[in-house]
Amino acid sequence: MKKNVIVSQSGGPTPVINSTLRGIVELCRSMPDIFGEVYAGFHGIEGVLKEELINLSAQKEEEIAYLSTTPAAGGIGTCRYKLRSNQTEDFDRVIDIFKAHNIGYFFYIGGNDSMDTANKVAKLAVEKGLDLIGIGGPKTIDNDVGDSEFKIIDHTPGYGSVARYWALNIQHANEENEGSCPADPVLVLQAMGRKIGFIPAAARLADPKREMPLQIYMTESKVSLPELADNVNDELHRSKRCIVVVSEGFDVGDIGARRDNFGHVSFGASQMTVTQAVVNYLNEHGLKAKGLARGDTPGTDQRRNMIYASTVDIEEAYKLGQQAALIAAKGESGYMSTILRNPGPIYSVRYDKVPLEVVANSERFFPESWIAPNRMDVTDDFVRYARPLIGDNWPAIPLLNGIQRFARIEPLFVPQALPAYVPQGLR
Protein backbone atom coordinates (compact mmCIF):
# COMPACT_ATOMS: atom_id res chain seq x y z
CA MET A 1 0.00 0.00 0.00
CA LYS A 2 1.31 3.42 -1.00
CA LYS A 3 2.21 5.79 1.79
CA ASN A 4 1.13 9.41 1.98
CA VAL A 5 3.33 12.49 2.31
CA ILE A 6 3.51 15.40 4.75
CA VAL A 7 5.58 18.45 3.90
CA SER A 8 6.05 21.34 6.33
CA GLN A 9 8.02 24.58 6.57
CA SER A 10 9.74 26.11 9.56
CA GLY A 11 11.52 29.29 10.59
CA GLY A 12 11.76 32.66 8.89
CA PRO A 13 10.36 32.96 5.37
CA THR A 14 12.39 33.56 2.22
CA PRO A 15 11.38 34.75 -1.24
CA VAL A 16 11.91 31.23 -2.62
CA ILE A 17 10.79 28.89 0.17
CA ASN A 18 7.65 28.05 -1.78
CA SER A 19 9.71 27.14 -4.83
CA THR A 20 11.22 24.27 -2.83
CA LEU A 21 7.72 23.29 -1.76
CA ARG A 22 6.63 23.27 -5.39
CA GLY A 23 9.58 21.05 -6.34
CA ILE A 24 8.62 18.47 -3.70
CA VAL A 25 4.92 18.50 -4.52
CA GLU A 26 5.29 18.29 -8.30
CA LEU A 27 7.82 15.49 -8.20
CA CYS A 28 5.71 13.50 -5.74
CA ARG A 29 2.72 14.00 -8.02
CA SER A 30 4.76 12.73 -10.97
CA MET A 31 5.44 9.43 -9.17
CA PRO A 32 1.98 8.13 -8.22
CA ASP A 33 3.30 4.57 -7.99
CA ILE A 34 5.54 5.60 -5.08
CA PHE A 35 3.84 8.51 -3.34
CA GLY A 36 0.23 8.66 -2.19
CA GLU A 37 -1.59 11.84 -1.20
CA VAL A 38 0.52 14.89 -0.47
CA TYR A 39 -0.45 16.86 2.63
CA ALA A 40 0.94 20.05 4.10
CA GLY A 41 1.33 20.72 7.79
CA PHE A 42 -0.47 24.08 8.09
CA HIS A 43 2.02 26.43 9.72
CA GLY A 44 4.77 23.87 10.02
CA ILE A 45 5.14 21.25 12.69
CA GLU A 46 2.46 23.06 14.73
CA GLY A 47 -0.04 22.10 12.06
CA VAL A 48 1.12 18.49 12.17
CA LEU A 49 0.69 18.40 15.95
CA LYS A 50 -2.76 19.98 15.72
CA GLU A 51 -3.71 17.64 12.86
CA GLU A 52 -4.24 20.60 10.55
CA LEU A 53 -3.27 19.02 7.24
CA ILE A 54 -4.00 20.64 3.89
CA ASN A 55 -4.51 18.29 0.96
CA LEU A 56 -2.04 19.52 -1.67
CA SER A 57 -2.90 16.69 -4.05
CA ALA A 58 -6.36 18.21 -4.39
CA GLN A 59 -5.02 21.62 -5.44
CA LYS A 60 -5.06 22.79 -9.05
CA GLU A 61 -1.79 22.22 -10.89
CA GLU A 62 -1.60 25.88 -11.92
CA GLU A 63 -1.79 26.98 -8.28
CA ILE A 64 1.08 24.69 -7.34
CA ALA A 65 3.06 26.16 -10.25
CA TYR A 66 2.42 29.69 -8.95
CA LEU A 67 4.24 28.76 -5.74
CA SER A 68 7.60 29.52 -7.39
CA THR A 69 6.69 33.22 -7.54
CA THR A 70 4.77 33.32 -4.25
CA PRO A 71 7.12 34.44 -1.48
CA ALA A 72 7.32 34.16 2.27
CA ALA A 73 5.54 30.88 3.04
CA GLY A 74 2.18 32.38 2.16
CA GLY A 75 0.96 29.11 0.67
CA ILE A 76 1.01 26.72 3.64
CA GLY A 77 2.59 28.86 6.34
CA THR A 78 5.59 28.40 8.59
CA CYS A 79 6.22 28.44 12.34
CA ARG A 80 8.90 28.92 14.97
CA TYR A 81 7.83 26.00 17.10
CA LYS A 82 10.71 23.76 18.13
CA LEU A 83 10.39 20.11 19.06
CA ARG A 84 12.64 19.85 22.09
CA SER A 85 14.06 16.54 23.29
CA ASN A 86 12.07 16.61 26.54
CA GLN A 87 8.72 17.14 24.78
CA THR A 88 7.93 13.44 24.60
CA GLU A 89 4.18 14.03 24.25
CA ASP A 90 4.80 16.08 21.11
CA PHE A 91 6.94 13.38 19.56
CA ASP A 92 4.40 10.70 20.41
CA ARG A 93 1.70 12.90 18.87
CA VAL A 94 3.67 13.25 15.63
CA ILE A 95 3.96 9.47 15.37
CA ASP A 96 0.22 9.08 16.09
CA ILE A 97 -0.57 11.58 13.32
CA PHE A 98 1.64 9.71 10.88
CA LYS A 99 -0.04 6.42 11.72
CA ALA A 100 -3.56 7.87 11.53
CA HIS A 101 -2.98 9.29 8.05
CA ASN A 102 -0.79 6.53 6.60
CA ILE A 103 2.22 8.82 6.34
CA GLY A 104 5.36 7.23 4.98
CA TYR A 105 7.24 10.38 3.92
CA PHE A 106 7.98 13.51 5.93
CA PHE A 107 9.67 16.54 4.33
CA TYR A 108 10.76 19.47 6.48
CA ILE A 109 11.97 22.70 4.86
CA GLY A 110 14.04 24.94 7.11
CA GLY A 111 17.38 25.80 8.68
CA ASN A 112 19.64 24.06 11.20
CA ASP A 113 16.94 23.77 13.87
CA SER A 114 14.50 22.33 11.35
CA MET A 115 17.05 19.78 10.17
CA ASP A 116 17.51 18.78 13.79
CA THR A 117 13.75 18.30 14.08
CA ALA A 118 13.58 16.26 10.88
CA ASN A 119 16.45 14.12 12.15
CA LYS A 120 14.76 13.52 15.52
CA VAL A 121 11.46 12.60 13.88
CA ALA A 122 13.16 10.21 11.42
CA LYS A 123 15.04 8.44 14.24
CA LEU A 124 11.97 8.25 16.48
CA ALA A 125 9.96 6.67 13.70
CA VAL A 126 12.54 3.90 13.42
CA GLU A 127 12.46 3.39 17.19
CA LYS A 128 8.67 3.14 17.11
CA GLY A 129 8.73 0.64 14.27
CA LEU A 130 7.14 3.07 11.84
CA ASP A 131 8.05 2.78 8.17
CA LEU A 132 8.85 6.45 7.62
CA ILE A 133 11.31 8.32 5.41
CA GLY A 134 12.35 11.71 6.83
CA ILE A 135 14.00 14.23 4.48
CA GLY A 136 15.11 17.84 4.98
CA GLY A 137 15.10 20.68 2.50
CA PRO A 138 17.48 23.59 3.21
CA LYS A 139 16.22 27.17 3.63
CA THR A 140 17.51 30.38 5.15
CA ILE A 141 18.36 33.87 3.97
CA ASP A 142 21.21 33.95 6.50
CA ASN A 143 23.26 31.33 4.60
CA ASP A 144 24.32 29.86 7.94
CA VAL A 145 23.33 26.24 7.33
CA GLY A 146 26.27 23.94 6.83
CA ASP A 147 29.94 24.60 7.38
CA SER A 148 32.42 27.39 6.70
CA GLU A 149 34.31 25.15 4.27
CA PHE A 150 31.17 24.86 2.09
CA LYS A 151 31.50 21.08 1.92
CA ILE A 152 28.04 20.33 3.35
CA ILE A 153 26.22 22.92 1.24
CA ASP A 154 27.54 25.76 -0.89
CA HIS A 155 24.70 28.20 -0.18
CA THR A 156 21.16 28.04 1.04
CA PRO A 157 18.01 28.85 -0.93
CA GLY A 158 16.90 32.34 -0.01
CA TYR A 159 20.36 33.81 0.27
CA GLY A 160 20.80 34.57 -3.43
CA SER A 161 17.55 36.57 -3.42
CA VAL A 162 18.33 38.63 -0.34
CA ALA A 163 21.84 39.23 -1.74
CA ARG A 164 20.29 40.55 -4.93
CA TYR A 165 17.92 42.70 -2.87
CA TRP A 166 20.89 44.35 -1.17
CA ALA A 167 22.88 44.79 -4.37
CA LEU A 168 19.99 46.68 -5.95
CA ASN A 169 19.05 48.48 -2.73
CA ILE A 170 22.55 49.89 -2.35
CA GLN A 171 22.52 51.05 -5.96
CA HIS A 172 19.34 53.02 -5.27
CA ALA A 173 20.64 54.27 -1.93
CA ASN A 174 23.79 55.56 -3.61
CA GLU A 175 21.75 57.53 -6.14
CA GLU A 176 19.76 59.14 -3.34
CA ASN A 177 22.78 59.81 -1.17
CA GLU A 178 24.71 61.38 -4.03
CA GLY A 179 21.82 63.68 -4.82
CA SER A 180 20.90 64.70 -1.27
CA CYS A 181 24.30 64.65 0.45
CA PRO A 182 24.48 68.41 1.14
CA ALA A 183 21.65 67.94 3.63
CA ASP A 184 21.95 64.22 4.40
CA PRO A 185 25.59 63.21 3.95
CA VAL A 186 25.35 59.86 5.77
CA LEU A 187 22.86 57.09 5.13
CA VAL A 188 22.88 54.09 7.50
CA LEU A 189 21.12 50.89 6.43
CA GLN A 190 20.56 47.79 8.56
CA ALA A 191 20.72 44.30 7.05
CA MET A 192 19.28 41.10 8.50
CA GLY A 193 21.39 38.05 9.25
CA ARG A 194 21.54 37.94 13.06
CA LYS A 195 25.20 37.47 13.91
CA ILE A 196 26.51 36.15 10.59
CA GLY A 197 27.62 38.58 7.92
CA PHE A 198 26.59 37.07 4.58
CA ILE A 199 23.66 39.46 4.08
CA PRO A 200 25.38 42.79 4.84
CA ALA A 201 28.39 41.55 2.86
CA ALA A 202 26.14 41.34 -0.21
CA ALA A 203 26.02 45.15 -0.30
CA ARG A 204 29.44 45.00 -1.97
CA LEU A 205 27.84 43.36 -5.03
CA ALA A 206 26.38 46.77 -5.88
CA ASP A 207 29.87 48.19 -6.24
CA PRO A 208 32.50 45.52 -6.91
CA LYS A 209 34.96 48.13 -8.24
CA ARG A 210 34.63 50.12 -4.99
CA GLU A 211 33.66 53.43 -6.54
CA MET A 212 30.99 54.30 -3.97
CA PRO A 213 31.75 55.73 -0.49
CA LEU A 214 30.42 52.48 0.98
CA GLN A 215 31.33 50.95 4.34
CA ILE A 216 30.14 47.52 5.48
CA TYR A 217 30.09 46.47 9.15
CA MET A 218 29.29 42.88 9.93
CA THR A 219 29.09 41.47 13.43
CA GLU A 220 32.30 39.61 12.63
CA SER A 221 34.06 42.87 11.78
CA LYS A 222 34.57 43.50 15.52
CA VAL A 223 34.54 47.27 15.04
CA SER A 224 33.41 49.50 17.90
CA LEU A 225 30.87 52.29 17.52
CA PRO A 226 33.53 55.02 18.07
CA GLU A 227 35.74 53.35 15.43
CA LEU A 228 32.81 53.28 13.02
CA ALA A 229 32.23 56.99 13.62
CA ASP A 230 35.90 57.77 12.96
CA ASN A 231 35.77 55.77 9.72
CA VAL A 232 32.65 57.61 8.61
CA ASN A 233 34.21 60.99 9.30
CA ASP A 234 37.33 59.99 7.40
CA GLU A 235 35.11 59.18 4.42
CA LEU A 236 33.26 62.47 4.79
CA HIS A 237 36.59 64.25 4.64
CA ARG A 238 37.37 62.46 1.35
CA SER A 239 33.98 62.23 -0.35
CA LYS A 240 31.59 64.56 1.53
CA ARG A 241 29.20 61.62 1.90
CA CYS A 242 29.06 58.02 3.13
CA ILE A 243 26.77 54.98 2.92
CA VAL A 244 26.99 52.66 5.93
CA VAL A 245 25.63 49.12 5.97
CA VAL A 246 25.43 47.53 9.43
CA SER A 247 24.43 44.05 10.42
CA GLU A 248 21.48 43.78 12.78
CA GLY A 249 23.93 41.93 15.06
CA PHE A 250 26.47 44.76 15.10
CA ASP A 251 27.35 45.54 18.74
CA VAL A 252 25.96 48.92 19.76
CA GLY A 253 25.15 47.92 23.33
CA ASP A 254 21.73 47.15 24.77
CA ILE A 255 18.91 47.45 22.23
CA GLY A 256 16.30 45.64 24.31
CA ALA A 257 16.65 42.46 22.31
CA ARG A 258 13.96 39.78 22.40
CA ARG A 259 14.26 36.13 21.43
CA ASP A 260 12.07 33.83 19.36
CA ASN A 261 11.08 30.26 20.17
CA PHE A 262 14.30 28.95 18.64
CA GLY A 263 16.30 31.08 21.07
CA HIS A 264 17.51 33.42 18.33
CA VAL A 265 17.54 37.18 18.93
CA SER A 266 14.56 38.65 17.09
CA PHE A 267 16.06 41.98 16.13
CA GLY A 268 12.90 43.14 14.41
CA ALA A 269 11.07 42.91 17.74
CA SER A 270 13.76 44.68 19.75
CA GLN A 271 13.11 48.01 21.45
CA MET A 272 15.64 49.83 19.27
CA THR A 273 17.23 49.14 15.88
CA VAL A 274 20.97 49.06 15.40
CA THR A 275 20.43 51.63 12.66
CA GLN A 276 18.90 54.10 15.08
CA ALA A 277 21.68 53.56 17.62
CA VAL A 278 24.34 54.26 14.96
CA VAL A 279 22.47 57.29 13.60
CA ASN A 280 22.04 58.71 17.10
CA TYR A 281 25.72 58.23 17.89
CA LEU A 282 26.88 59.87 14.66
CA ASN A 283 24.61 62.87 15.08
CA GLU A 284 25.37 63.30 18.77
CA HIS A 285 29.13 63.15 18.32
CA GLY A 286 29.20 65.28 15.20
CA LEU A 287 29.87 64.76 11.51
CA LYS A 288 32.69 66.35 9.55
CA ALA A 289 30.16 67.63 7.06
CA LYS A 290 27.04 69.77 7.09
CA GLY A 291 23.77 67.96 7.60
CA LEU A 292 22.72 64.83 9.47
CA ALA A 293 22.97 61.09 9.34
CA ARG A 294 19.73 59.32 8.40
CA GLY A 295 18.76 55.70 8.79
CA ASP A 296 16.80 53.06 6.93
CA THR A 297 15.84 49.59 8.16
CA PRO A 298 14.25 47.51 5.38
CA GLY A 299 13.32 44.83 7.93
CA THR A 300 11.39 41.80 6.76
CA ASP A 301 10.88 43.28 3.29
CA GLN A 302 14.22 41.79 2.29
CA ARG A 303 13.02 38.25 3.01
CA ARG A 304 9.63 38.52 1.32
CA ASN A 305 10.18 40.77 -1.70
CA MET A 306 9.60 38.64 -4.79
CA ILE A 307 10.29 41.47 -7.22
CA TYR A 308 13.98 41.47 -6.28
CA ALA A 309 14.28 37.67 -6.13
CA SER A 310 17.14 35.97 -7.94
CA THR A 311 16.17 33.79 -10.90
CA VAL A 312 19.10 31.53 -9.99
CA ASP A 313 17.74 31.23 -6.45
CA ILE A 314 14.21 30.41 -7.64
CA GLU A 315 15.48 27.65 -9.94
CA GLU A 316 17.89 26.15 -7.42
CA ALA A 317 15.28 26.15 -4.65
CA TYR A 318 12.93 24.24 -6.95
CA LYS A 319 15.57 21.69 -7.90
CA LEU A 320 16.49 21.17 -4.24
CA GLY A 321 12.84 20.34 -3.59
CA GLN A 322 12.92 17.86 -6.46
CA GLN A 323 16.15 16.40 -5.12
CA ALA A 324 14.56 15.91 -1.69
CA ALA A 325 11.69 13.98 -3.28
CA LEU A 326 14.08 11.91 -5.42
CA ILE A 327 16.03 10.89 -2.30
CA ALA A 328 12.77 9.80 -0.69
CA ALA A 329 11.70 7.93 -3.83
CA LYS A 330 14.86 5.84 -3.55
CA GLY A 331 13.81 4.80 -0.05
CA GLU A 332 16.63 6.73 1.66
CA SER A 333 15.86 8.39 4.99
CA GLY A 334 17.69 10.82 7.28
CA TYR A 335 19.12 13.08 4.58
CA MET A 336 18.92 16.72 3.50
CA SER A 337 19.04 17.62 -0.16
CA THR A 338 22.04 19.80 -0.83
CA ILE A 339 23.65 21.95 -3.51
CA LEU A 340 27.39 21.94 -4.17
CA ARG A 341 29.43 24.17 -6.46
CA ASN A 342 31.49 22.57 -9.19
CA PRO A 343 35.11 23.69 -9.49
CA GLY A 344 36.12 26.03 -12.26
CA PRO A 345 35.66 29.65 -13.31
CA ILE A 346 32.18 29.14 -14.79
CA TYR A 347 29.40 28.82 -12.18
CA SER A 348 27.67 25.45 -12.11
CA VAL A 349 26.27 23.25 -9.38
CA ARG A 350 25.30 19.68 -8.64
CA TYR A 351 22.63 18.34 -6.30
CA ASP A 352 23.36 15.70 -3.71
CA LYS A 353 22.45 14.60 -0.19
CA VAL A 354 23.99 14.96 3.26
CA PRO A 355 23.01 13.18 6.51
CA LEU A 356 20.62 15.23 8.63
CA GLU A 357 22.67 14.60 11.75
CA VAL A 358 25.71 16.17 10.05
CA VAL A 359 23.72 19.29 9.18
CA ALA A 360 22.04 19.50 12.59
CA ASN A 361 25.39 19.47 14.36
CA SER A 362 27.17 21.87 12.01
CA GLU A 363 27.59 25.62 12.13
CA ARG A 364 28.67 28.03 9.42
CA PHE A 365 30.60 31.24 10.05
CA PHE A 366 31.50 34.02 7.67
CA PRO A 367 35.10 33.24 6.64
CA GLU A 368 37.62 35.52 8.31
CA SER A 369 39.61 35.54 5.07
CA TRP A 370 36.66 37.28 3.37
CA ILE A 371 36.78 40.26 5.74
CA ALA A 372 38.91 43.08 4.36
CA PRO A 373 41.97 44.17 6.38
CA ASN A 374 40.29 47.53 7.17
CA ARG A 375 37.38 45.57 8.81
CA MET A 376 34.76 47.67 6.99
CA ASP A 377 34.61 45.80 3.70
CA VAL A 378 34.76 42.31 2.20
CA THR A 379 37.29 40.86 -0.21
CA ASP A 380 37.06 40.04 -3.89
CA ASP A 381 36.93 36.35 -2.96
CA PHE A 382 33.53 36.95 -1.40
CA VAL A 383 32.37 38.86 -4.47
CA ARG A 384 33.40 35.93 -6.68
CA TYR A 385 31.48 33.55 -4.39
CA ALA A 386 28.29 35.60 -4.20
CA ARG A 387 28.04 37.22 -7.63
CA PRO A 388 26.64 34.15 -9.50
CA LEU A 389 23.92 33.68 -6.89
CA ILE A 390 22.06 36.90 -7.75
CA GLY A 391 21.65 36.01 -11.42
CA ASP A 392 21.44 38.33 -14.41
CA ASN A 393 17.72 38.76 -15.03
CA TRP A 394 14.54 40.00 -13.40
CA PRO A 395 12.15 37.27 -12.30
CA ALA A 396 9.03 36.76 -14.39
CA ILE A 397 6.40 37.89 -11.89
CA PRO A 398 2.79 37.20 -12.95
CA LEU A 399 0.36 40.10 -12.53
CA LEU A 400 -3.42 40.20 -12.45
CA ASN A 401 -5.22 43.56 -12.66
CA GLY A 402 -1.95 45.34 -12.05
CA ILE A 403 -1.01 43.49 -8.85
CA GLN A 404 0.93 40.32 -8.25
CA ARG A 405 -0.79 36.98 -8.75
CA PHE A 406 0.03 34.62 -5.89
CA ALA A 407 -0.67 30.92 -5.56
CA ARG A 408 -4.13 30.36 -4.10
CA ILE A 409 -3.89 27.25 -1.94
CA GLU A 410 -7.42 26.31 -0.95
CA PRO A 411 -8.03 25.35 2.71
CA LEU A 412 -8.87 21.74 1.87
CA PHE A 413 -8.16 20.22 5.27
CA VAL A 414 -7.95 16.47 5.70
CA PRO A 415 -10.64 15.15 8.10
CA GLN A 416 -9.20 14.81 11.59
CA ALA A 417 -8.96 11.30 13.02
CA LEU A 418 -7.56 12.02 16.50
CA PRO A 419 -8.70 14.03 19.53
CA ALA A 420 -7.76 17.72 19.65
CA TYR A 421 -4.25 18.41 20.92
CA VAL A 422 -2.40 21.43 22.28
CA PRO A 423 1.38 21.27 21.62
CA GLN A 424 3.44 21.10 24.80
CA GLY A 425 5.25 24.34 24.07
CA LEU A 426 1.95 26.23 23.78
CA ARG A 427 0.43 25.15 27.09
- Is residue 173 domain-resident? yes
110 and 224: one domain?
A: no
287 and 336: one domain?
A: no
Give me the number of domains the chain comprises: 2
Residue 393: which residues within 8 A CB-CB, separation 6 or more? 311
User: Measuring CA to CA, which residue among 115, 165, 190, 195 is closest to residue 366?
Assistant: 195
214 and 99: one domain?
A: no
User: Measuring CA to CA, which residue among 97, 128, 124 is closest to residue 6?
Assistant: 97
Q: What is the pLDDT along the chain (427 residues), one digit of tens a residue?
A: 799 999 999 988 999 999 999 999 999 999 999 999 999 999 999 999 999 999 999 999 999 999 999 999 888 999 988 888 889 999 999 999 999 999 999 999 998 888 988 888 988 888 888 999 999 999 999 999 999 999 999 999 999 999 999 999 999 999 999 999 999 999 999 999 878 999 999 999 999 999 999 999 999 999 999 999 999 999 999 999 999 999 998 888 665 455 555 555 655 544 568 999 999 999 999 898 899 999 999 989 999 999 999 999 999 999 999 999 999 999 999 999 999 999 999 999 999 999 999 998 788 999 999 999 999 999 999 999 999 999 999 999 999 999 999 999 999 999 999 999 999 989 8
List 90, 142, 144, 377, catalytic entry: 142
Q: Catalytic residue at 392?
A: no
Which residues span the domain enclosing 110? Answer: 3-158+308-362+392-426
- Is residue 380 domain-resident? no
119 and 204: one domain?
A: no
CB atoms closer than 10 angstroms to residue 262 = 17
80 and 129: one domain?
A: yes
138 and 168: one domain?
A: no
| Euclidean distance between CA atoms 293 and 13, whole angstroms | 31
Stated pTM of the model: 0.94
| Euclidean distance between CA atoms 198 and 218, whole angstroms | 8
350 and 265: one domain?
A: no
337 and 269: one domain?
A: no
339 and 265: one domain?
A: no
110 and 78: one domain?
A: yes
φ, ψ at 103 (rounded to 5°): -85, 125
Q: What is the DSSP letter of 378?
A: B
- Is residue 413 domain-resident? yes
12 and 154: one domain?
A: yes
Cβ(265)–Cβ(194) under 8 Å?
yes
296 and 314: one domain?
A: no
- Is residue 287 domain-resident? yes
Question: Could you tell me the CATH number of the domain that includes residue 16?
Answer: 3.40.50.450
